[in-house]
Amino acid sequence: MRDADRAWLAEAIRRIEADYNRSADTHLIRVELPRYPGITLYLKDESSHPTGSLKHRLARSLFLYALCNEWIGPRTTVIEASSGSTAVSEAYFARMLGLRFIAVVPAATAAPKLDAIRFHGGEIHAVDDPRTVYDVAHRLAAETGGHFIDQFTYAERATDWRGNNNIAESIFAQMAEEEHPIPAWIVCGAGTGGTSATIGRFIRYRRHATRLCVADPVHSVFHRHYADRTVTTLPEGCASRIEGIGRPRVEPSFVPGVIDRMIAVEDCDSLGAMRALSDALGRRVGGSTGTNINACMTLVEEMAAAGRTGSIVTLLCDGGERYGCTYYDPDWLAGCGGAWEASAERTAAFLR
């Protein structure tokens, strides 16, 4: 690398570190469960990152990893295959470094998401067939001399799983003064699989008794692969409506070995739990948070039935702002049938 480029690299890393240095950690919200004495639920609120979701952590890690590998330099166009929160967060970091950023997205992607990517300075490259996003991302990288940052491959290795204030270390530090500082369970979803890999490895490395549960949409391949490692893709036409989690193919960053249990959740149960939690908190949360809460209900009920006390920590992955035309739109919800309403009532009772 030329001296000028090495100086650019140092400045790029300084900017990301300085941004981190100015940031506060995300809150750990304590949720009392009066019906379940001795059991407390905690929500790690990842919606409070500058770009609104847990993908802020991932984007920071992916950029630092790519910079330190010298995959990204001062003239590199950065490309990602993402229709969602990852592209929004990556656009934020690309702009911070003065780099061009292109998100390769399926043509059907909802407008509010595209607006959020553009708001942070990203460009959109839409493709008609969603299955071609990876190929198109590779091709664009070759044509522009750019770098395909590839969240689904690198999420699990770009994060420092042993510490460095990753999400797991932050959770355990914030739990330190609680009655049950070591959670019985930590519950999260899997999109790239990066978050579950980090938490699962950290728990083992620190030798905690905590178990890791991954809540997965019924129409996702991950829990099927967990039960039978020969299953690697979903049957045709099977698709989850919960954005951010549940994939049609097993992604390279999904690490099943560090997961202690998976719970499959129907979309209508995720949406019902999402609505009930939003009402309880007084602000909207995203669908994958509902999936997590639904799995937490199962675990809390099992603990109570076994006479156990303790704590359960789950993630509030993102807020509801980007879902105004879907999950929080009465017409859209009506298209899902009324099944979510019974689920919302059950979750509301659980939280009351």
Residue 37 CA to residue 349 CA, distance in Å, equals 15
Residue 245 touches ligand PLP, criterion: CB under 6 A: yes
- Tell me the closest approach of the beta carbon of residue 107 to ligand PLP, in angstroms: 20
Q: Which of 77, 83, 85, 326 binds ligand PLP (CB under 6 A)?
A: 85
* Total residues interacting with ligand PLP, rule: CB under 6 A: 20
Contact 249, 321 (CB under 8 A): no
Q: Which one, of 36, 54, 35, 38, lies nearest residue 46 by Cα?
A: 54
User: What strand order describes the sheet that includes 310-316?
Assistant: 28-32, 39-45, 310-316, 185-188, 211-217, 261-265
Cβ at position 75, least distance to ligand PLP in Å: 29
Q: Check if the beta carbon of residue 83 is closer than 8 Å to that of residue 326.
A: no
Q: Is 26 in the site for ligand PLP (CB under 6 A)?
A: no
According to the binding rule CB under 6 A, does residue 210 interact with ligand PLP? Answer: no
> Quick one: which of 146, 191, 246, 310 contacts ligand PLP (CB under 6 A)?
191
CB–CB of 266/213 below 8 Å?
no
Nearer Cβ to ligand PLP, position 12 or 215?
215
Q: Which is nearer to ligand PLP, 39 or 276 (CB)?
A: 276
CB 63 within 8 A of CB 121: no
Nearer to ligand PLP, 15 or 261 (CB): 261
Q: In the chain, count of helices (H) and strands (E)? A: 13, 10
Binds ligand PLP by CB under 6 A, chosen from 55, 113, 247, 284:
55
Q: Taking CB under 6 A as the criterion, which residues in 152-181 touch ligand PLP?
A: 155
Task: Identify the H or E element spanning 265.
Answer: strand 261-265
Name residues contacting ligand PLP, limited to 251-310 (CB under 6 A). Answer: 286, 288
**Contact at 8 Å (CB) between 153 and 184?**
no
| Nearer to ligand PLP among residue 76 and residue 83 (C-beta) | 83
Return the sign of the alpha-carbon dihedral for residues 59, 63, 65, 66. Answer: positive
- Closer Cβ to ligand PLP, 52 or 183, answer by number: 52
Spatial CB neighbours of 46, under 8 Å, sequence gap ≥ 6:
26, 53, 54, 56, 57, 167, 315, 316, 317, 318
Burial code (b: 16+ CB inside 10 Å, e: under 16) for 54-79 equals: bbbbbbbbbbbbbbeeebbbeebbbb
- The residue from 183, 189, 290, 320 that contacts ligand PLP (CB under 6 A) is 189
Does 53 contact ligand PLP by CB under 6 A? yes
Is 244 a binding residue for ligand PLP by CB under 6 A? The answer is yes
Question: According to CB under 6 A, which one of 317, 323, 344, 351 is a site residue for ligand PLP?
Answer: 317
Is 194 a residue that touches ligand PLP (CB under 6 A)? yes
Q: Is 289 helix (H, G, I), strand (E, B) or coil?
A: helix
How far from 141 is each of 9, 83, 146, 148, CA to CA, in Å?
A: 20, 17, 4, 6
Should residue 318 be labelled a site residue for ligand PLP when binding is judged by CB under 6 A? yes
Indicate whether 319 belongs to the interface with ligand PLP (CB under 6 A): no
Cβ of residue 177: shortest distance to ligand PLP, in angstroms? 27
**Minimum CB separation from ligand PLP for residue 250, in Å?**
12
Minimum separation from the CB atom of position 189 to ligand PLP (A): 4
**Do residues 241 and 336 touch, judged by C-beta distance below 8 A?**
yes
Q: Which residues bind ligand PLP (CB under 6 A)?
A: 53-55, 84-85, 155, 189-196, 244-245, 286, 288, 317-318
